[in-house]
Amino acid sequence: MKQKIANIASAEQFEKPVYSASLAVFRVVFGFMLFFSTVRFWLKGWIEELYINPKMFFTYWGFEWVHPLGQYTYLLFIVCGISALFFALGLYYRIASILLFLSFTYIELMDKTNYLNHYYFVTLVLFLMMWLPANVNFSLDAMRKPQISKRFVPLWTVGSIRMMMSIVYVYAGLAKLNSDWLIEAMPLRLWLPANNDMPLLGPLFNHLWVAYFFSWFGALYDLTIPFFLLNRKTRQYAYATVVVFHLLTAALFPIGVFPYVMIVSALVFFDSKDADKFVQRMKEFWPFLHADDDKDMFGYKPKRAKLLRSMFVLFFTIQIIMPWRYLLNKGELFWTEDGYRFSWRVMLMEKMGYAQFIVKDAATGNKITVNNNEFLTRNQERMMATQPDFILQYAHYLHDEFTTRGVHNPEVYATIYVAMNGRRSRLYADTTVDLAKETDTWRPKKWILDFDDKIHGL
């Protein structure tokens, strides 16, 4: 056992050759998934709805300079879609992967209203993929330049993708280890009955025990699935579970392509030997692809390898630490959401808010009740009403907007009610605080009122 741990930790273990087909297959499925995701986004009219129609956009801290580009936003999606296609085909892979990473990330940064955990996951995976030799096999690049074709890559290249997926699953599982999820079966208890008109399974969702079953199974699934996928003996059953589990979540919840992203991404856990067999067979069908049966192994130049190694270590260190950053804040995480985003808290709470803003003219004392629909889309309004950083940004926006409308030194007050996981709604923010004077910092926000309840657990 000791020896085994020592082996895993040793550098040689990381450099162990595995079949490059594993990485190549992942590149193909991931790339096509992103391509179709982009097309889907476009066809549903969401580019216009989310990035062109809204009056204001909620920016990320440090990325305030990222804005939609008006009609050129479509161009951005074209770049993203085409580079996803090139990425999948392994054509001009280096450039395609960089463009894909940049365009996809830029799109995600345009409005945090649309933040989804799976988009964040895609961004992180794309970041890794930029540095990995995913085009040395089963690619048009390898056909164009047979000299880059390699049948083997170091284990850590495939391993880093597996690692990334494992982090997502395990952290998503850890986040579920709380009293609301396990003891109250919230929020599934609210969400499942909403689907009780679904064929076959629908009637089941009326039963409370089903909500408990889903909650517990969900937590256990997330916590253990990477290990079952890594283990050769359990892998095929685990993968079957992945497919069933994610198809079920796709049927139940409006979470778009996420289930499919996970289903295809989990293929990366399969033995690289199997991937190699698959790719070799494909090459028999498509003789134009470079068929290599040599023993060549891809290797980075020593200097580059060293740099990459440090970068990946840093990357994963951040990934492992970041979800815990909420521990630095005293308030209830679900309530204040300090440290909620970027930590794989997926489908974890039902939170709904109602925010009524009042702009007061400091000179005349006149009060104007703000109609949120004048400035925000319904989705933006919904996101804004429960998340402090949105609330502040909106307050500042109102301050500026009403200044141009001739209000003297506008003061912005808000009456906000928030209900969470079936609890009665309560006042969320101090109604006497001029929110336009508050700033979004790393420190706890004093104007958020206490949650008055405790959610136990991680």
CA separation for the pair 157, 136 (Å, rounded): 12
| Phi-psi group of 138: left, alpha or beta (phi > 0 → left; psi -120 to 50 → alpha; rest → beta) | left
Q: Which of 10, 53, 409, 425 binds other proteins (CB under 8 A)?
A: 425
Alpha-carbon gap, residue 287 to 281, rounded angstroms = 10
Smallest gap from residue 456 Cβ to other proteins (A): 13
* DSSP sequence for 378-420: HHHHHHHTT-HHHHHHHHHHHHHHHHHTT-SS-EEEEEEEEEE
CB atoms within 10 A of CB 170: 19
Which range, of 215-223, 268-276, 278-286, 310-318, touches other proteins by CB under 8 A? 215-223
Whether residue 27 contacts residue 88, with contact meaning beta carbons closer than 8 Å, is answered with yes
**Count of C-beta atoms within a 10 Å radius of residue 128:** 20
354, β-bridge pairs? 417
Tokens of 80: 């993203």
Cα 8 off chain centre by: 29
Residue from 220, 243, 247, 248 in contact with other proteins (CB under 8 A): 220
Q: Is 176 in the site for other proteins (CB under 8 A)?
A: no
- Pick the stretch among 82-90, 136-144, 298-306, 362-370 that binds other proteins (CB under 8 A): 362-370
Which of 206, 310, 317, 409 is close enough to bind other proteins by CB under 8 A? 206
Among the listed residues 56, 102, 116, 130, the single contact to other proteins using CB under 8 A: 116
Q: What x-and-dash track marks residues 141-170 binding other proteins by CB under 8 A?
A: ------------------------------
Nearer to other proteins, 86 or 119 (CB): 119
Determine, following the binding rule CB under 8 A, whether residue 422 of this chain makes contact with other proteins: yes
Tokens of residue 387, six digits: 């998340």
Three-point CA angle 195, 421, 385, nearest 5°: 100
Is residue 424 within the footprint of other proteins (CB under 8 A)? yes
319-348 residues in contact with other proteins (CB under 8 A) are 340, 345-348
Q: How far apart are CA 411 and CA 365, in angstroms?
A: 10
Give burial (CB, 10 Å; 0-12/13-18/19+) of 59: middle
Min separation Cβ 377 and other proteins, Å: 8
How many residues bind other proteins, per CB under 8 A?
69
Cα(216)–Cα(219) distance, rounded to whole angstroms? 5
Cα-based distances in Å from 85 to 24, 26, 37, 59, 328: 14, 13, 11, 28, 42
Q: Give whichever of 101 and 344 is closer to other proteins, judged by the CB atom.
A: 344
Q: Which stretch binds other proteins (CB under 8 A): 72-80, 134-142, 158-166, 190-198?
A: 190-198
**Residue 14 vs 42, nearer CB to other proteins:** 42
Site membership for other proteins, residue 352 (CB under 8 A): yes
- Binding residue for other proteins (CB under 8 A) from 66, 69, 102, 419? 419
368 makes contact with other proteins (CB under 8 A): yes
Find the part of the chain contacting other proteins (CB under 8 A) among 95-103, 134-142, 275-283, 351-359. 351-359
Binding site for other proteins (CB under 8 A): 44, 46, 49-50, 114-118, 182-184, 187, 189-191, 193-197, 203, 206-209, 212-213, 216-217, 220, 224, 233-234, 237, 253-258, 340, 345-354, 358, 365-369, 378-379, 382, 417-419, 422-425, 452
